[in-house]
Amino acid sequence: MTEPELRPLNVLCLATYFKGSDFIRECKRRGCHVILVTKEKTLAEDWPRESLDDLIAVPNDAGPALFIDLAAFISRKLKLDRVVALEEFDVITAALIREHLCLSGMSSSRAKSFRDKMAMAVAASGVGVNVPDFVPLINPDEIGAFMERVPPPWIIKPRSDVSAIGIRKPETADEVWRAVDEMNQRESLRERASYYLLMRYVAGEVFHVDSIVNERRVVFAGGNQYGRPPMDVAHQGGAYISHTVAHGSEDQKRLFEANKQVVKALAIKRGATHAEFIKSKDDGKFYFLEIAARVGGAYIAEVLEAASGINLWREWARLEVTTGKAANADATEDDVTLVHGSDSEAVLRGLAEGLARGSAAKRIVPLRREYAGIILSLAKQESPDTSAYNEPEIAYRVKKRHHAGLIVRSKKLERVTDLLDQFARRFAEDFAAVLPPLERAE
């Protein structure tokens, strides 16, 4: 079934949390009819209502069946062309809707690979990417053999949650067995031990690579390094810090290559990805940790835009809207490059025409090659005032309840890291608040 060439595309966006405003605006700017489905808890957020044709809230406990039924109800009067998950927890639901309505896009089986850390670890190791040794918390003999072979400490991590939610760091076998016993007594079957992994703990620096993918190719990637591992921030408190990796460095090259291999192994056709790697302090190798089929959270998109001029949300929206409008089969191998600059609109018009013929963008060229970084902290104040921070490199101020955050930009990486170090000390005095880490996603 070919897509219509005359009427606007009808795009259904799912967002369990407040994310993706730039995606919505770009879809509307390109003439789409955009519907957003969110949950009651986020209905009052600052959604770009001027770019929405409809905004629908479902109950906070709504499951996939309700989302599917809602999409079918919408489709009685409005044929949907795209279903897009703007948030991690909506990736599988969006895939189930696509399958129910027989729409193009990621299938539910593929989507589950981006939600299951065991599936993604198996896929990454299968293409030669380094992965910390792991075992599912299922078979006692396998668990015991793993603990004999791999010295402690280890990491117990849920197979499906994000960031550092639910992660433990046992030091002894007794701690592991107690954790397994406790999990298997839980009332919720999906919180029992088989939904967790036991992994070798790798000490080192943590990095993330955020990409735009088209026709299974990484057409843009940005590499960043965390100031401290997210798990340490979640469990010990303190500010979250991330900054650009040195352009052209060996670290950047190795990260980008590993990221390409993981994206290829997971076989995502089109969209945004956020992958995390750790550089072992023992052997200097990069180890794959996890990947998600979404734009990274914690203002990562804003950091990358400050450094490169590329907005991940807008680029993703452009691909969703223009790719395959007239040719819904696989794209050809035409070499199309997205160029951003003074004549970007003319180039993008040409790109849109090329994509409408079924061609595939192979590269998104950044406006600039600079450096940026973010510091973000929970704040004791409901609306923290950062006006005393007046350095000219400040490119963005986070406006979120009980959060203080600044994004800085410079042509020199050293200036970015110096500012982030200074701000970290000042934030500790001015704003810092600490909450206990979540055992599971709220």
Query: What's the CATH code of the domain at 87?
Result: 3.40.50.20
Domain membership of residue 118 (yes or no) is no
- Can you give the pLDDT at residue 166? 76
Q: Are residues 211 and 190 in the same domain?
A: no
Q: Are residues 154 and 108 in the same domain?
A: no
128 lies in some domain = no
- What is the value of pTM for the model shown? 0.87
pLDDT the model gives residue 233? 62
What tokens does 346 get?
A: 């003319």
- What CATH code is carried by the domain that includes residue 165? 3.30.1490.20
DSSP 267: T
The CATH number of residue 318's host domain is 3.30.470.20
pLDDT of residue 46: 95
DSSP 40: G
d(CA 408, CA 423): 11
Residue 3 lies in a domain: no
Within a domain: residue 403? yes
Local confidence pLDDT in tens for the 442 residues of the chain: 455 556 789 999 999 999 999 999 999 999 999 999 999 999 999 999 999 999 999 999 999 999 999 999 999 999 999 999 999 999 999 999 999 999 999 999 999 999 999 999 999 999 999 999 999 999 999 999 999 999 999 999 999 865 456 789 999 999 999 999 999 999 999 999 999 999 999 999 999 999 999 999 999 999 999 997 666 665 566 789 999 999 999 999 999 999 999 999 999 999 999 999 999 999 999 999 999 999 999 999 999 999 999 999 999 999 999 875 533 333 333 333 444 433 344 344 444 444 443 445 578 999 999 999 999 999 999 999 999 999 999 999 999 999 999 999 999 999 999 999 999 999 999 997 765 555 555 5
Give yes or no: residues 103 and 161 share one domain: no
Distance, C-alpha 183 to centroid of its chain:
28
Residue 265 and residue 160 share a domain: no
Residue 382 lies inside a defined structural domain of this protein: yes
Among 171, 200, 229, identify where a domain stops: 200
Q: What is the extent of the structural domain holding 148?
A: 133-200
Residue 376: strand pairing partners: 240, 405
If asked whether residues 104 and 161 sit together in one domain, one would say no
Q: Is residue 168 part of a domain?
A: yes
Residues 90, 24: one domain? yes
Q: Does residue 126 lie within any of the structural domains?
A: no
Q: How many domains does the chain have?
A: 3
Chosen domain end from 183, 200, 217: 200
Residue 43 contacts residue 63 (beta carbons within 8 Å): no
Cβ neighbours of residue 234 closer than 8 Å, sequence gap 6 or more: 163, 164, 165, 167, 437, 438
* pLDDT for position 325: 53
Region class of 205: left (phi > 0), else alpha (psi between -120 and 50), else beta: beta
Of 113, 148, 174, the domain-final residue: 113
Same domain, 353 and 265: yes
Co-location of 162 and 224 in the same domain? no
Residues 180 and 242 in one domain: no
Give the residue among 195, 97, 98 at the shortest CA–CA distance from 137. 195
Same domain? For 78 and 141 the reply is no
* CA geometry: angle 375, 378, 380, nearest 5 deg: 130
pLDDT of residue 343: 39
- Residues contacting 379, CB < 8 A, separation 6+: 402, 403, 404, 431, 432, 433
Largest CA distance in the chain: 65
266 & 178 share domain: no
Considering the domain architecture, whether residues 157 and 282 belong to the same structural domain is answered as: no
The answer to whether position 125 is within a domain reads no
